[in-house]
Amino acid sequence: MVPDELVLAVERGSLDTIEQALDAEPGLVTARTGDEDTLLHLACWQKQTAIAALLLARGADPNARGCYGRTSLHYAVHDGRAVSVELVRQLLAHGADPWIAENNGFTADAWARQEMWDEPLAAVLRQFAAVPRPDRR
């Protein structure tokens, strides 16, 4: 279980705290919250790019399903901020699949089309287009 202090550390962008915790207990990279999210899910939701990069470097699974079956990519594109483009780039570079549907059937691509606009949306969609869809693999 992800300790509450690490949830707060992610929310506050406390990279050092997360790094020290992972050094002491490497298994935290796969630990879950009560809602089934990982630290990577939380970092993407909070748009903490440095923490996401650390977690990915430590072996976090970018395709792990969390709350409602959502992946970190779903959280990365939520709310349409420009920083989402960098998070998406990091996640895709570590094997994230934008075509995984959450429990309601929406992929990260579909979420991006709902949550983003203008150049950030165009940049994310260009990145997703480079990943073959399962029906075209």
Q: pTM here?
A: 0.94
Domain count, the chain: 1
Q: Is residue 46 part of a domain?
A: yes
pLDDT (0 to 100) of residue 134:
82
Q: What is the pLDDT along the chain (137 residues), one digit of tens a residue?
A: 999 999 999 999 999 999 999 999 999 999 999 999 999 999 999 999 999 999 999 999 999 999 999 999 999 999 888 889 999 999 999 999 999 999 999 999 999 999 888 889 899 999 999 999 887 65
Q: Is residue 137 part of a domain?
A: no
- Tell me the CB-side half-sphere exposure of residue 101, using CA atoms within 13 A: 6
**Residue 70 near residue 102, CB atoms below 8 Å:** yes
Residue 108, CA distances (Å) to 2, 17, 88, 132 in order:
24, 29, 10, 14
Q: Is residue 22 part of a domain?
A: yes
pLDDT (0 to 100) of residue 79:
84
**CATH number of residue 75's parent domain:** 1.25.40.20
Determine the structural domain holding residue 77 and report its residue range: 4-132
pLDDT (0 to 100) of residue 136:
65
pLDDT (0 to 100) of residue 100:
96
pLDDT (0 to 100) of residue 41:
99
